Structure 1
Amino acid sequence: MSKDAYAKLVEKFQRLSRLEHAMTFLQWDQLVMMPAAGNDTRSKSIAELASMHHEMLTEPEMGELIDTAQGQVTEPSLQRSLLEMERTWRQAVCLPSTLVKAQSLAGSKCEHGWRTQRKENDWKGFLSNFREVVNLSREEAQARQAVKPERFPTPYDALLDLYCTGDSSEFIKKTFDQLKTTLPGLIEEVISQQNETVSLRGSYPIDAQKQLNEKLMKVLGFNFEAGRLDVSMHPFSTGDTGDQRITTRFRDTDFADALQGTAHETGHASYEAGLPEEWADLPVGNARNMCLHESQSLLFEKQIFLSSPFTQFFAQSVHSYLPDAKRFSAEEIWHASKRVQPSLIRVEADEVTYPLHVILRFEIESSLMNSTLEPDDIPELWDEKMKKYMGLSTKDNYADGCLQDIHWTDGSFGYFPSYTLGALNSAQLFAAIKKEHPEWQEKLAQGDIGFIRNWLQKAIWSKASTLDSQDIIIQATGEGTNPGYFLEHIQARYLRNQY
């Protein structure tokens, strides 16, 4: 060989990264800027690239090179890099390219239809596309499970591995059962003790809100020379090295919802921007998993932005950009922003009730992928669980019920648990930051979050995928994921009004 096997693998994965880059920005444009009439052609182009990517990743030579490299590579850092290459290859090789292409087409069609169908409360129309997404996702889950049945006891576990690597459905169920036991009483106690808050509703021009959100991103450390903010139906963050894209959504009668969404997505983008350059374009250089990814977004949104000292600081900017908000003090904005109230919409839920929204979705999607639930039966079960967990009904209200999320439209089953696991991790990480920086409240009151970014850069972002997620958490905090930190955070903020 003119080059050793590992060097050839590096070249191949760098080429794959170039295709991923192209698909990322074609998809971003499809969701944010593309005229509706272009969807069919764009979907075909993305599907073709996805098929090419899959064929390149699963070509016979790839497995041969991995086998050869395993006998050549001795340096620990390269061994870890090779391990992540192998993991990426094994996740792909079990799926035929025809399935990958079919999923891309079905997902694009379902997502595009969902944009209109949700607005029109059209569950039947959505279901006509969604059934195919479910069928293809089940096919994927079963194919992945068949490769390592000893590791994946259920088809759903095989999909969870794509987002929550290392956390089984059994572990997640036990963790969620603990929250289901504790949270209802805690929510009742919080609601009984919270005082009446002002309504932040008013007249807030969208252009001014966009400027305010950009100001928030700058304070949180976002680099606008390497990214941008746009508008989409569902807030998200995507991008690549040097080009992080954030979207949010605005309502001219409310400013708090957009700010929280922007803070959340800035956390995602910060993680991606902080990944080590030396591993760029290789699997080992990727963010570890979505449970860590969500810990970063929730840390920025809930631990930083929603804290009392930061609100005291940022209220000055709110008053400056939005004159109608001057009638609210920083204290009033803080109490209104952290008001606890069971609600229908997940992305608008407070952090105390939010886990119940995730638990509902976890229970439904696990049954759906394990074929103990059919798509037609989702609305009835959704309504049943909403009544049980939130005391609210979604009967015949699909737009605010089972049609509200984008995740299932492209078959991202297994993603939802990462939100609540991320919340647990974020509280635990921030507890470690507070311990190391006892002056944290004074710093946030001055708009200084540099110490937090520096800590996260060292403890989380620089690790990329060089370690397993629980090892990263243990190194950063001294122990694995512990829900006790989240519950203590809730009690401190909502019952003791400490921050």
Structure 2
Amino acid sequence: MQAYRSLEDRFARISSIEDAIGILQWDAETMMPEGAADSRSDQLATLKGIAHEVLTAPETGDLLDRADQDSDHLDDWPRANLREMRRIYLHASAVPADLVEASSRAVSRAELVWREARQNGDFALLLPHLSQVLAVQRQIGQAKGEALGLPPYDALLDSYDPGLRQEAIDPLFTELGAELPDLIREAQERQKGLPAIQPLSGPFPVEDQRRIGEQLMAAVGFDFNQGRLDVSLHPFCGGSTGDVRITTRYSEANFMSALMGVLHETGHALYEQGRPDKWRRQPVGAARGMSMHESQSLLIEMQACRSWEFVTYLAPLVQKTFQGEGSAWNPENLHRILTKVEPGFIRVDADEITYPAHILVRYKLERAMIAGDLEIQDLPGAFNEEIRNLLGLTVLNDSLGCLQDIHWPGGAWGYFPTYTLGAMTAAQLFKAACQADPNILPGLASGDFSPLRTWLRANVHSKGSLLTTDQLLVAATGRPLQAEVFRTHLRERYLGY
């Protein structure tokens, strides 16, 4: 037991270092002056190097071996904690410290250049920096793969979602991808028979958008004593344990995009704020992988906040906030706006049906780049071709194409599949929640998220990483992940059957 207790102390220290990294990264995305970028890059690289050294020190492996010998004496939570410690250690010890720091520096530089490249649609500006990030990610994937007995891309997937493999993703995505073109076409055909959408006239002042965003965050259950809302180029949820930071971006011409972004990130924040208090600084208290994390954001944004019930609550709020007049502000029109199906260029603004197509494109391309089957300089052309094939769109410039996301410059290779896996998981969880508690949908109609939040706290948030992803989903819904549940949800909401 002494070995296990020593491991708890060690991982608590690592958690504190990672919390400091989280706040520094949040600051870099929101408030840091551009001239501080090089210093911040060094700071992050140093802290990540320290955390890596603590985690991969020889005594960590010795403590794990000794704790494993006594694991029969551990209860469920400590035993699961030890399992997660071992997994994290295997990932970290596979990667040399100099490669960890090289990755941090490459990412910091690439993210900074990405902002300018995205603004100007200049892929050539980003190319050398993105090439460096990819080279490092290939090395990391190779190193982890050798340690874990996995192909490089599977090893990267496992970093974000423990146990996730291409062999599990491919049939789910193939099944969904085969139906997407018909779903999109049928939904657009059905829309033609509905009353025309009435546009909402702006401008919509940013301060008003922020105020209603914070009002809805509070309704969903965000704790402002342990978090805040800010602005960044790309919306995200970050920060540290007990201090959850979320961001959005505003346009005075369209308040709905920022509002849905806020609700999306609030779903992430609820998960972070709902993790088990006793285990918050231990691996077992962490969120259960990014597919589950994305399910929480999409459950709030897509399943709950685009439901007819919630829109009946939302309509008078936004009408009052923006002093709207006329039938354009009634629930029927707002619901049509929020459930409009129209292929578009920007992933984060995509509707619920076309969104998976964006992920299928990125999944295919990043696998090819990691495998060396697609050269980085050929990315824009390949990206544009895939978007044309799946969505029928001609990408006009790289800002609307491969430059729109920060994930690849940010070193998040293997992350993209979790968005659509999260959407599938969200549909399955929301269906189970509504079946378990008939007060959830009526609650949304009055802005009361407490029935839904209570179910999520009990069945997802409070579980941390006690269970594997599959075990957690089966315990909560009675079945493993099934693409059909998500497809049924899309047909019911958008096709009426």
Normalising by the smaller structure, the TM-score range is: over 0.9
Greater Cα shift, 73-82 or 244-253? 73-82
Q: Which residue of 2 aligns with 1:192?
A: 189
Q: Which residue of 2 aligns with 1:482?
A: 482
Cα distance change, pair 299–325 in 1 and its aligned pair in 2 (3 A)? farther
Residue 304 of structure 2 corresponds to residue 312 of structure 1: no
Q: Which residue of 2 aligns with 1:286?
A: 286
- What is the alpha-carbon distance in structure 1 between the residues aligned to residue 50 and residue 138 of structure 2? 22
Residue 444 of structure 2 corresponds to residue 447 of structure 1: no
- Residue 439 of structure 1 deviates from its aligned partner by 4.1
Q: Which residue of 1 aligns with 2:351?
A: 350
Unpaired segments ≥5 residues, structure 2? none
Residue 169 of structure 2 corresponds to residue 168 of structure 1: no
CA contact (8 A) 1:379 1:402 kept: yes
- What is the alpha-carbon distance in structure 2 between the residues aligned to residue 82 and residue 323 of structure 1? 55
Summarize the alignment of residues 3-22 of structure 1 with structure 2, pairs less than 5 Å apart.
4-22=2-20
> 1:9 corresponds to which letter in structure 2?
L
SS of alignment partner, residue 323 of structure 1: coil
- Residue 141 of structure 1 deviates from its aligned partner by 0.4
Q: Which residue of 1 aligns with 2:102?
A: 102
Summarize the alignment of residues 289-438 of structure 1 with structure 2, pairs less than 5 Å apart.
289-324=289-324, 327-394=328-395, 397-438=397-438
Cα distance change, pair 423–282 in 1 and its aligned pair in 2 (3 A)? same
SS of alignment partner, residue 247 of structure 1: strand
> 1:127 corresponds to which letter in structure 2?
L
SS of alignment partner, residue 245 of structure 1: strand
Q: Which residue of 1 aligns with 2:75?
A: 76
Cα distance change, pair 232–419 in 1 and its aligned pair in 2 (3 A)? same
SS of alignment partner, residue 244 of structure 2: strand
SS of alignment partner, residue 382 of structure 1: helix
- Residue 183 of structure 1 deviates from its aligned partner by 1.1
Q: Which residue of 1 aligns with 2:65?
A: 67
Q: Which residue of 2 aligns with 1:456?
A: 456
Q: Which residue of 1 aligns with 2:179?
A: 182
- What is the alpha-carbon distance in structure 1 between the residues aligned to residue 438 and residue 69 of structure 2? 49
Q: Which residue of 1 aligns with 2:493?
A: 493
- Residue 484 of structure 1 deviates from its aligned partner by 1.2
- What is the alpha-carbon distance in structure 1 between the residues aligned to residue 7 and residue 314 of structure 2? 48
- What is the alpha-carbon distance in structure 2 between the residues aligned to residue 108 and residue 64 of structure 1? 33
- Residue 324 of structure 1 deviates from its aligned partner by 3.7
Q: Which residue of 1 aligns with 2:471?
A: 471
CA contact (8 A) 2:161 2:288 kept: no
- Residue 33 of structure 1 deviates from its aligned partner by 0.5
- What is the alpha-carbon distance in structure 1 between the residues aligned to residue 256 and residue 461 of structure 2? 28
> 1:374 corresponds to which letter in structure 2?
E
1:420-444: CA deviation from partner (whole Å, max 9, x where unpaired): 0000000000110111123433221
- What is the alpha-carbon distance in structure 2 between the residues aligned to residue 367 and residue 431 of structure 1? 35
Instruction: Pick from 30, 36, 40 the counterpart of residue 38 of structure 2.
Output: 40
- Residue 10 of structure 1 deviates from its aligned partner by 0.9
- Residue 219 of structure 1 deviates from its aligned partner by 0.9
> 1:358 corresponds to which letter in structure 2?
I
- What is the alpha-carbon distance in structure 2 between the residues aligned to residue 94 and residue 216 of structure 1? 43
Q: Which residue of 1 aligns with 2:130?
A: 130
TM-score (norm 2): 0.97
CA contact (8 A) 1:200 1:336 kept: no
TM-score (norm 1): 0.97
- Residue 75 of structure 1 deviates from its aligned partner by 1.8
- What is the alpha-carbon distance in structure 1 between the residues aligned to residue 124 and residue 212 of structure 2? 39
CA contact (8 A) 2:424 2:481 kept: yes
CA contact (8 A) 1:313 1:446 kept: yes
CA contact (8 A) 1:104 1:410 kept: no
- What is the alpha-carbon distance in structure 2 between the residues aligned to residue 167 and residue 20 of structure 1? 23
- What is the alpha-carbon distance in structure 2 between the residues aligned to residue 125 and residue 328 of structure 1? 43
SS of alignment partner, residue 402 of structure 1: coil
- What is the alpha-carbon distance in structure 2 between the residues aligned to residue 241 and residue 88 of structure 1? 18
- Residue 492 of structure 1 deviates from its aligned partner by 1.2
> 1:43 corresponds to which letter in structure 2?
S
- Residue 201 of structure 1 deviates from its aligned partner by 4.7
> How many residues are paired up?
491
> 1:303 corresponds to which letter in structure 2?
Q
> 1:8 corresponds to which letter in structure 2?
S
- What is the alpha-carbon distance in structure 2 between the residues aligned to residue 325 and residue 343 of structure 1? 28
Percent sequence identity over aligned pairs: 41
Greater Cα shift, 77-86 or 107-116? 77-86
1:426-467: CA deviation from partner (whole Å, max 9, x where unpaired): 000011011112343322111111011110111101111111
Cα distance change, pair 325–217 in 1 and its aligned pair in 2 (3 A)? farther
Cα distance change, pair 226–287 in 1 and its aligned pair in 2 (3 A)? same
- Residue 165 of structure 1 deviates from its aligned partner by 2.1
CA contact (8 A) 1:285 1:464 kept: yes
- Residue 223 of structure 1 deviates from its aligned partner by 1.1
Residue 50 of structure 2 corresponds to residue 49 of structure 1: no
- What is the alpha-carbon distance in structure 2 between the residues aligned to residue 240 and residue 45 of structure 1? 17
- What is the alpha-carbon distance in structure 2 between the residues aligned to residue 273 and residue 136 of structure 1? 33
Cα distance change, pair 201–383 in 1 and its aligned pair in 2 (3 A)? farther
- What is the alpha-carbon distance in structure 2 between the residues aligned to residue 111 and residue 182 of structure 1? 35
1:363-396: CA deviation from partner (whole Å, max 9, x where unpaired): 000111111111111111111111100001125x
1:255-305: CA deviation from partner (whole Å, max 9, x where unpaired): 111111111000000001100011121111100100000000000001111
- What is the alpha-carbon distance in structure 2 between the residues aligned to residue 202 and residue 408 of structure 1? 34
CA contact (8 A) 2:439 2:451 kept: no
- What is the alpha-carbon distance in structure 2 between the residues aligned to residue 254 and residue 144 of structure 1? 44
1:294-349: CA deviation from partner (whole Å, max 9, x where unpaired): 00000000111111111110222111211146652121111111100011110010
- What is the alpha-carbon distance in structure 2 between the residues aligned to residue 480 and residue 325 of structure 1? 47
- What is the alpha-carbon distance in structure 1 between the residues aligned to residue 224 and residue 354 of structure 2? 33
SS of alignment partner, residue 101 of structure 2: helix
